[in-house]
Structure 1
Amino acid sequence: MNKVHPKTRTDLIGLTGSVTRRITIIDAKEYPTGVSVRVSDETGEEYWTELEDIELDD
């Protein structure tokens, strides 16, 4: 069996983008400046973000 050696993609290094994840809101706080939500994603990671930065399902 031949060992596969990956090719480094230097053309991709440093580019930026976004990742779409399914999240569940587990806490929410309203401040005069906006709403902060604590979310849990499908990988089990939990973090705070702003409500305006997520898109809720209809």
Structure 2
Amino acid sequence: MEFEPKKRNDLIGQTGVITRSFKIIEALEYPAGVSVRVADSMGEEYWTDLEDLELQK
């Protein structure tokens, strides 16, 4: 018997936060702030604002 998934309309539109480890591989400073290119734990590389990251100390 094949399993038929149930659509979860109650979850659609919800927001949250995904936590991934990352390494900064490039950084550029502009008058409006710092942009960083990161490589994350899922193998993705992308640009984001430094203010959107939480760096380990």
CA distance in 1, matches of 2:42, 2:19: 12
Identity %: 61
> Please, which moves more after superposition, 32-41 or 9-18?
9-18
TM-score by length of 2: 0.87
Aligned length: 57
Unaligned runs of 5+ in 2: none
Moved over 4 A (4+): none
When the two chains are superposed, the root-mean-square deviation of aligned CA atoms in Å is: 1.1
Question: Which residue of structure 1 lines up, in the alignment, with residue 23 of structure 2?
Answer: 24
Question: Which residue of structure 1 lines up, in the alignment, with residue 40 of structure 2?
Answer: 41
1:10 corresponds to 2:12: no
Unaligned runs of 5+ in 1: none
